[in-house]
Amino acid sequence: MRKKTLALRGTLLAATALLAATPAPALSQHAAGGKWLYLTVAKGGDIRAREIHGRLLMCDPPRGHVGAAKACAELDAARGDVDLIPPRHLLCPMIYDPVTVSARGRWTGRRVDYGHTFANTCDLAARTGSVFDLPDPHKTGPVPGLPR
């Protein structure tokens, strides 16, 4: 039994030395941080609402939703911070129909954790650009109320 233990220990030490001497492969941009966000939109102002949907927005190359290229460009200009996206000048109705959004992920190695409730979808679009312009899963077009 002692010989088997010594043989196994020697094999493990040799394997460890071999792995330590082998250069590690370069990390892909996604593994190293990348640019991606999981976006959610909940109608009714409650993230626990029944009418919630989400999408994974990936920006190298842009994909994930209809306006991915535009959303990625806006996020690049804001360094991944949704709060720094310049507001659009839209005339929004003063109707309270709350919508809660969240964005969680990584942007060039930095963690992103954003959440906010807006008065309505027009207010959302005016303050977050194309980022949350997600298609409604129950319809073929974008979320109702978001200007194009």
User: 27 — phi, psi (to 5°)?
Assistant: -75, 140
Residue 131's pLDDT is what?
95
Give the start-to-end residue ranges of the domains of the chain.
Answer: 33-148
Regions of the chain with pLDDT less than 50: 5-32, 142-148
The pair of three-digit structure tokens given for residue 41, joined into one six-digit string: 């939109």
Residue 111 three-state SS: strand
Residue 65's pLDDT is what?
86
CATH no. for 33-148: 3.30.350.10
User: How many CB atoms lie under 10 A from the CB of residue 121?
Assistant: 23
For CA atoms 133, 135, 136, 139, the dihedral sign is: positive
Residue 134's pLDDT is what?
82
